[in-house]
Amino acid sequence: MAEAAGSPLIRVSGLTVRYGAVTALDHVDLAITPGMFLAVLGPNGSGKTTLFRCLLGLAEYEGRVESRARRIGYVPQIKNFDRSFPGRSVEVVISGIVGAWPGPLALRRHRERACAALAEVGADAFADRPLHALSGGQLQRVYLARALVHGPDLLMLDEPAAGVDRAGEADLYECLEGYQARNPELAVAMITHDWEVARHHADTSLLLDHSVLAFGPSAEVLTEDTLRRAFGHVGHHHDLGVTS
Ligand SMILES: Nc1ncnc2c1ncn2[C@@H]1O[C@H](COP(=O)(O)OP(=O)(O)OP(=O)(O)O)[C@@H](O)[C@H]1O
């Protein structure tokens, strides 16, 4: 059935997740629309990862998650990545192309697709470099290419700045914005602790502390007043995990 333009890609209503006595998410409502850049902010343990796991279909929940996303790309945190993993950048990207074992001819096509995805994120120069020889920012690009190689409608990033220096982080957001400008239907959802980054790069923000404290345009949600009311402080370095 055809969907009206601008209708949500994902609509979450009454989303509740309990781990024994812990309520990780409590009646969360939100909608992600095509072209949105959503920042998900909240203190440690506030349910951000659990929300992502529900959107990815990896957690059991009560409530509803309605999705018309055909493909979702996911970039995990890279800070704990094992660099001794034997492989080259291009192989990580190829592993993101879903499907049966392709055989030698398709493998060549897959390599071309993987190299095109690496080029999209400015990482084609290190396609054949082993993973242990990549910097944090370069490894981040490889995982970004892996998430984008199958043309997702939603790209989800879990704290993309973790393990990447400030310059690499700025490059990453520039790269993401460029990609989204070339693919305006793509929705991006990103977990971050940095409200300055959210205010700068995300049009929409969600403040989460098990339940939704605020959800809407970043300029309205991320005021110092709202952050102070929500978290009791505005942290050093704009980091919600640090008490000032
Ligand atoms: N598998 C699990 N079993 C039991 N409790 C869990 C499990 N996963 C998460 N929790 C609890 O649910 C709550 C939300 O955790 P979650 O990881 O979603 O928070 P978060 O906002 O992503 O935290 P952080 O910023 O530290 O990554 C926390 O209290 C956490 O301890």
Q: List the chain residues with pLDDT less than 70.
A: 1-6, 80, 98-102, 232-244
Find tokens 């996911």 and name the residue. Answer: 74
Q: Which two structure tokens, joined as six digits, stand for 244?
A: 């000032």
Using CA positions, which residue lies closest to atom 23 of ligand 1?
A: 45
Say which CATH class 1-70+191-244 falls into.
Answer: alpha beta
Measure the CA–CA gap between 20 and 72, rounded to whole angstroms. Answer: 29
Using CA positions, which residue lies closest to atom 5 of ligand 1?
A: 19
Which sign, positive or negative, has the C-alpha torsion 179, 185, 186, 189? positive
CA 25 to ligand 1 center in whole angstroms: 9
User: Domain limits of the chain?
Assistant: 1-70+191-244
Q: Which of 25, 28, 49 to mutate to test the pocket of ligand 1 (most atoms within 8 A of CB)?
A: 49
CA 46 to ligand 1 center in whole angstroms: 7
Give the ipTM.
0.96
Measure the CA–CA gap between 8 and 33, rounded to whole angstroms. Answer: 4
Strands (E), 159-203: 187-191
Residues with CB under 6 A from ligand 1: 19, 22, 24, 42, 44-50
For residue range 162-203, list pLDDT tens digits in order.
878 888 888 889 999 999 999 999 999 999 988 889 999 999
